[in-house]
Structure formats: C-alpha cells, structure tokens
Amino acid sequence: MSSFGGQMVEYPTISIDRFDRENLRARAYFLSHCHKDHMKGLRAPALKRRLECSLKVYLYCSPVTKELLLTNPKYRFWEKRTISIEVETPTQIPLIDEASGEKEEIVVTLLPAGHCPGSVMFLFQGNNGTVLYTGDFRLAKGEAARMELLHSGGRVKDIQSVYLDTTFCDPRFYQIPSREECLNGILELVRGWITRSPYHVVWLNCKAAYGYEYLFTNLSEQFGAQVHVDKLDMFRNMPDILHHLTTDRSTQIHACRHPKAEEYFQWNKLPCGITSKNRIPLHTISIKPSTIWFGERTRKTHVIVRTGESSYRACFSFHSSYSEIKDFLSYIRPMNAYANVIPVGTTMDKVTEILKPLCRSSQSTEPKYKPLGKLKRARTAHLDSEEEDDDLFDDPPPVPLRHKVPNQETLHPEVFSMTAISQNHEVFSMTAVSQNHEVFSMTAVSQNQPENLRQSTGCFKEESMPTSLLANFVDCQESNSESEEESGIPASLQGGMDPVALHQQKSDVDVPQWEVFFKRNDEITDDGLENFPSSAEAGASQSPKLFSDSDGESTHISSQNSSQSTHISEQGSQGWDSQADTILLPSQERNCNDTTSLNKGGYRPRIKGNIPASQLEQNVLCPKDTYSDSRSRAQDVNIVPGVGEPTTISSGKNKPEEKWLLNPGTKADSQSSSDFEIPSTPDAELPKQEHLQYLYEKLATGESVIVKKKKTSLLDI
C-alpha cells in the first residue's frame, strides 16, 4: 500500500495520488491510476470545497483513468475539472498560485506503468529538474530502456529523483513469473476444465479492483466465452473490454463476487447464485489470482498451485518483483530514489539501503558517460540481417522517428481541444498500447467473435481434456516431493501439447503469432549487470526459444522444484518456495507459440520490439528529440489550457478502451525477460560473467561486437 504523502521535494506545489491534508493546497493534482489507496481524499468534502473556490485547479490523469474515475458517481463532481493527457505526450501544465498570481510551468509526460487499466508513471520536467513518479507499476526487465521519452540525446535522461513503487522491493520477492507465463498457466488450467463439458465452469476469485481485465479478455478470446462479472458499466466506452464481459450468468467463466462467495463455493454455488444449468448441476473449480514469488536462484517457477480439491491459486502480480525494480532503477540511475511503499515485514531503512546503491549520488566516482543507458530501438524485420555489423555505439544522424502526432504538433492553447482530438484519434490505437500494460492484445477481438471461436475450438473439446485430468491434479497435490512433480503434471497441461488443440491453433493463420509481441529473446539488456548471472539463468531457462516447443518440458518440471529454490535462495527466501507443495504448472513458457490470444491484434508499440544483442547500442533510428531537451522544445510539448473546455480533450473519438486494449506494452517477459537470453539457440551455453564483462567493455569502447542472432519472424514488424 502506498505511503507516499502526495508531494515530491522538487515540486511541492503539486500533489500526486494523495488529496488530503497538506495536499489540499496543491496547484495541480495527478492521479496515476484508479485504485482506492491512491485516491485518498479525492472525494472528501474538504477537497470539494477547495475545488469550488480554486477554479484553476485541475486533476490530470490518463484518458482511461479519467473514464474509470468519472463513471463512478462518487467522483462525478470531478467531471469538469479533470484533464486527460495522452500517454507519451509531453504536456505543459501551468501551476498557478491563485492567491499571489504567481505562475510556474511544468512539463509532464505520462508513461505506461503496466499496473492496471489506465495506470501511468509521471515524468515531470521543470525548473527543479526532472523527476519520475512511478505510481504502482509492473514493468518487465528492459522496459525502461524502451521508453523513448525517458531518453534524450540517445541516453536516459538525467533524473534527479524517482518516487518508486517498492511493494516487492525485498530479496524475498526476487522473482515473479512473467505476465505471459501466468496468463498461459491460467489459460491451460481453464482449458483443461471447461472443455470437459458445458457444465464445467470456472470461478475466478478476483478482488474488486482494476487490473484483471487482460485476464478476462484473453480468456474470453481464447475460449469464446464471455466472463461473467457483477458490473461492467465502467467499461461502457471501452468496447474491447466490454465485449468480453457479460452479466449473463450462463457462461462457463465467472469472475462475479459475493461477500459469502467462499461459502457458496463450498456448496458448489457460484457467487452469482447459480448451481446448475438446464437442471444439470455444474462442476466448478475456483482460481484465485495471487502473487507467487521465488528466490534469486530459482530458475523454474510454478504458476498454478492446487490448494484444495477444486481450488487453485494462480500466479498474478500487479507489481514488479525485486529484480524488476532493481533493473528499472539501475537503468534510470537517478540521483535519489524514494520508496512509495514499505513492504510488509521490512522497514523504510532497509528499502533505502537497497535503493541507494542504484542511485548516482551513492557513487561519487560515477563516470559522466553512461554507456549502459541508451535507448533501445525497436527493430524492424527487414533490417534484421543488415544491422548486426553496425557499430553499436555510433550515434547515427538523427533520422526522424515517426512520432505520434501529438508529439509532432505544436498545440496552442486556443486550438488544443480541437486539434488534439482529431489528431490524437488517428494514432490512438498506437499510443494506447503502452498506456495500459495490462492488456497484451486485443485488437483481434472483433475479428474473432466468440461464436467463431467456439466453433473452432469445439471439435477438440472432449478429446483435448483427458478425463484423467482431475486425477492427475490430485496426484500432483498428493505428492509432496519435488521429484514427483514430473509425473504429477497432466500431459494436457504441459504446454498445450494436445495435438488437436495445437493443430487448431496453428491453423489460425489469420492471427498474428505470439512472436509479434513476445519474441524478444534475441535481445539483451545492457543494464542491470549485477543481476546478470541469475537473471541470465532464469531468462535462458525459461526461454521458449532455448527449448523446442514440445521438448524439455518434463525435464524442467522435475529439475527445478520448490525445495531446491528454497535452499539456494538468498536470505529471506527460506521457506517461501517450499510452500508450493501442490504445484501444478511450471511457469516456463511451455506454449508461448500457440498462445495466440496474447498477440492478436497486430499492434505493437513503435519503440518496442525485438532488438538483437548486436544492435543493443545502435541508434539506427534516432528519436526526433534525440539532441534536444524537451523542456526547451515547445513544439514537442502540448500545452494544457487549464481553462475553457478541458474535458473535451479526451472526449470524442479518443475512446480510452482503444488505448488500453491495444497495449502489448507489457507483453514483455518479466523475470524471464528475453533480454537476458544471450544465446538464443537451444544448445548454446550461457555466457560466463567474465565473458559478459569483456563484451560490455568492448561495447563501451565502441568496438564492434558481432553477435549471432536468430532470424526474426516476418510478423515482427
């Protein structure tokens, strides 16, 4: 839970995610996402009064957050005082002291945070330097390096302070399976159950909070069954989410809630009250999304744990793991880092001790030259074969990068609301992508109507799920020694091995394959060196590329187990892994290649994508603003009027849902980040640390390094 007070030392006249006490005097408010613990005081009478007499005070947030906020009647009074800002669009905001008339300007840039729909980080640039407030975030390793607007002159910006989500900033939480691994695990578990009969249903025991939407949409898309929820009106303007949800209880996938849901479930009753369909009793399992974490040296993790006869826990995390946080911070390298959250069981001092070494201020000898902080460019398929020989550290001429329209335009206050709408609209689907990390892919939704999917999957339903599945699960549960895991994993759950299912999915040629968003194993990060050995291990072992689609599965399952990870974990990890005694699914990406639902849509953020190791430091495409400071470039900054009709900025065609749905941004691996998979061939050896050191030294001196890499899919554009 955030304990951030709302104010940053550099810019104390603005308040973020806190709206009570001293924040009542702020000149501007910012909301990073729509979770209650970040909205303290936002509907309090005191702030309401303030709003009535301070007419120049506004709340700034992403378009999706604005939509979610204002669909809640309790916050409706913010309607005329909320200004949405497009992600990745530097925007100038006036900070006016209404008593004295004193005015200050600040430029804010919203960056995708991957925490829940609409969640963003705020990058502020003004007279007191550049600061980054992360809000809550989940970003995979290497994500920061792909954020164009964190960079300037081809390098990461000079950031004074980072206000950081430190929820899992403790070595206990070293590793959390990636979003894709978790999603795949859940998909397979659900597939194994609901394909048995129309009377087999699953209940997703989710909390009342935003952040599960990508799970719902992927399940719906994969199985052609909408997810039953209690409420969906908040998504009324987000059709690509809305279409995957239903209030019709007759579906096989439920995420409805009830105060006595657990009790109901004991009696085979769903939270919505139903127990049967066509007078035939339902067979129900519950899946509870939970954070499951692992120690530092754990290569393999397990994303599904059986907790009872019909109950499962599925790994799911809204927050970055310890190693993800360290990767992020060590890339940004701010002068200071402040913890927004004190993880349970630890202290602010301990967190500070972890953060300090990753900040520049801790190292007086820190060289000015920061060779490891360069923006990673997306690579296009046609460049694949030519780029490897380029000098990695060359700063090529600043070839203009195609920017999002808002970034290119000078938006004058008087025309802003009009131009912004029409121009943003065009690119909305692209910018939106990174705004809401949670949804990997969704654009294909409309191409794959549930009916079609149902039809296409129906043919293998019964055969794909052996009737012994349940028994297999039971076996797994009963085994309490790690070596039994291999036999405990149902074949049908081992990576979508079912031939019929596999065939079915592969035949779906119209759907972009997973590589479009996820295949990045031929790139490496140039940062987070200290994490390297274990991260490389983890990444390599989990790489779908390092093992063929169908083999190696059982080996991994048996080769890594909970107790192993326990005894090799670093301090604080003892016992964390051993609890996973009913592990069902290893987290390695068994079947990335056939998880089409992850990458339907075909959109990808421009600056993300495959970057081969050899191109790591290349700047083939320079961002337009590479050589200039955004603070001084009015033409790249939107001006927020702060008066007039600000709310129109996000109205019209700027439908929040589009952004958020298209967002493959978070598709990136988390722990298993392909960034660390140096050798991308199955039989290649992991690089030794010494070798890496050598490699990086060469890179730093500008020598060319040739690294063989795999051919990239043509889809990977």
Partner DNA sequence: GCGATCAGTT
Partner DNA sequence: CACAACTGATCGC
Binding segment (CB under 7 A) for DNA, from list 23-31, 35-43, 237-245, 356-364: 35-43
d(CA 220, CA 229): 12
Which residues 6+ apart lie within 8 Å of 609 measured at CB?
Answer: 378, 379, 380, 520, 716
Helices (H), ranges, 303-395: 322-332, 348-355
d(CA 44, CA 251): 39
- Number of residues counted as binding DNA (CB under 7 A): 41
Q: For 552, which DSSP code?
A: S
Interface with DNA, residue 73, by CB under 7 A:
no
Interface with DNA, residue 78, by CB under 7 A:
no
Helices (H) and strands (E) in the chain, counts: 21, 23
User: In angstroms, what is the minimal distance from the CB of 690 to DNA?
Assistant: 35
Binding segment (CB under 7 A) for DNA, from list 519-527, 547-555, 574-582, 638-646: 574-582
Interface with DNA, residue 656, by CB under 7 A:
no
Among 282, 341, 372, 622, binds DNA (CB under 7 A): 341
**What would the two tokens of residue 190 be?**
């659900």
Binding segment (CB under 7 A) for DNA, from list 33-41, 150-158, 419-427, 593-601: 33-41
User: In angstroms, what is the minimal distance from the CB of 43 to DNA?
Assistant: 7
User: In angstroms, what is the minimal distance from the CB of 323 to DNA?
Assistant: 16
Q: Which amino acid is at 80?
A: K
Interface with DNA, residue 61, by CB under 7 A:
no
226-245 positions binding DNA, by CB under 7 A: none
Rounded to 5 degrees, φ, ψ at 651 are -95, -165
Among 3, 9, 22, 44, binds DNA (CB under 7 A): 44
In terms of Cα–Cα distance, which of 671, 641, 691, 714 is closest to 58?
641
Place of tokens 């190696």: 552
Output 258 or 425, the one with its CB closest to DNA. 258
Q: How far is CA 255 from the centre of its chain?
A: 21
274-293 positions binding DNA, by CB under 7 A: 288-293
Output 291 or 487, the one with its CB closest to DNA. 291
User: In angstroms, what is the minimal distance from the CB of 571 to DNA?
Assistant: 16
Output 24 or 634, the one with its CB closest to DNA. 24
Report whether 383 contacts 614 (CB < 8 A): no
Among 75, 312, 318, 440, binds DNA (CB under 7 A): 318
Place of tokens 């380029």: 390
Instruction: Annotate each residue in 120-139 with x if it binds DNA (CB under 7 A) or - if it does not, as one string.
Output: ----------------x---
Q: Which residues pair with 391 in a beta bridge?
A: none
Interface with DNA, residue 58, by CB under 7 A:
no
Output 450 or 656, the one with its CB closest to DNA. 656
Q: Under DSSP, is residue 30 helix (H, G, I), strand (E, B) or coil? A: strand
203-222 positions binding DNA, by CB under 7 A: 205, 207-211
Cα–Cα distance list, 65 to 115, 238, 365 (Å) = 12, 12, 42
Output 32 or 417, the one with its CB closest to DNA. 32
Binding segment (CB under 7 A) for DNA, from list 30-38, 86-94, 405-413, 641-649: 30-38
Output 75 or 223, the one with its CB closest to DNA. 75
Q: For 411, which DSSP code?
A: B
Cα–Cα distance list, 476 to 190, 349, 466, 589 (Å) = 17, 42, 16, 20
Interface with DNA, residue 164, by CB under 7 A:
no
Q: Which helix (H) or strand (E) holds 415?
A: helix 413-435
Interface with DNA, residue 163, by CB under 7 A:
no
Q: Which helix (H) or strand (E) holds 66?
A: helix 63-70
Binding segment (CB under 7 A) for DNA, from list 8-16, 40-48, 90-98, 597-605: 40-48
3-state secondary structure 430-475: HHHHHHCCCCCCCHHHHHCCHHHHHHHHHCCHHHHCCCCHHHHHHH
Output 133 or 293, the one with its CB closest to DNA. 293
Instruction: Annotate each residue in 453-492 with x if it binds DNA (CB under 7 A) or - if it does not, as one string.
Output: ----------------------------------------
Output 136 or 526, the one with its CB closest to DNA. 136
User: In angstroms, what is the minimal distance from the CB of 182 to DNA?
Assistant: 12
| Buried b or exposed e, range 528-538, using 16+ CB within 10 angstroms | beebbbbbbbb
Among 299, 313, 545, 606, binds DNA (CB under 7 A): 313
d(CA 28, CA 396): 40
Among 343, 450, 665, 679, binds DNA (CB under 7 A): 343
Binding segment (CB under 7 A) for DNA, from list 38-46, 52-60, 414-422, 614-622: 38-46
Interface with DNA, residue 68, by CB under 7 A:
no
User: In angstroms, what is the minimal distance from the CB of 165 to DNA?
Assistant: 8
Output 184 or 340, the one with its CB closest to DNA. 340
d(CA 407, CA 22): 34
Which residues 6+ apart lie within 8 Å of 65 measured at CB?
Answer: 31, 32, 33, 34, 84, 117, 118, 119, 120
Which residues 6+ apart lie within 8 Å of 711 measured at CB?
Answer: 384, 385
User: In angstroms, what is the minimal distance from the CB of 540 to DNA?
Assistant: 24
User: In angstroms, what is the minimal distance from the CB of 60 to DNA?
Assistant: 20
User: In angstroms, what is the minimal distance from the CB of 402 to DNA?
Assistant: 35
Binding segment (CB under 7 A) for DNA, from list 81-89, 257-265, 380-388, 490-498: 257-265
Binding segment (CB under 7 A) for DNA, from list 96-104, 201-209, 332-340, 514-522: 201-209
| Buried b or exposed e, range 214-232, using 16+ CB within 10 angstroms | bbbbbbbbbbbbbbbbeeb
**What would the two tokens of residue 347 be?**
């202290």
103-122 positions binding DNA, by CB under 7 A: 115
Output 38 or 228, the one with its CB closest to DNA. 38
**What would the two tokens of residue 396 be?**
């090529």
Report whether 355 contacts 330 (CB < 8 A): no
Rounded to 5 degrees, φ, ψ at 308 are -175, 180
User: In angstroms, what is the minimal distance from the CB of 340 to DNA?
Assistant: 10
413-452 positions binding DNA, by CB under 7 A: none
578-637 positions binding DNA, by CB under 7 A: 579-580
Output 268 or 291, the one with its CB closest to DNA. 291
Which region holds residue 574: left if phi is over 0, alpha if psi is between -120 and 50, else beta? Answer: beta
User: In angstroms, what is the minimal distance from the CB of 220 to DNA?
Assistant: 22
Binding segment (CB under 7 A) for DNA, from list 337-345, 362-370, 409-417, 666-674: 337-345
Which region holds residue 298: left if phi is over 0, alpha if psi is between -120 and 50, else beta? Answer: beta
d(CA 619, CA 532): 23
How far is the first Cα of the chain from the last one, in angstroms, to the nearest whole number?
Answer: 39
Output 99 or 208, the one with its CB closest to DNA. 208
* Interacting residue ranges for DNA, rule: CB under 7 A: 1-2, 20, 34-37, 40-41, 44-45, 115, 136, 167-168, 205, 207-211, 259, 261-262, 288-293, 305, 313, 318-319, 341, 343-345, 576, 579-580
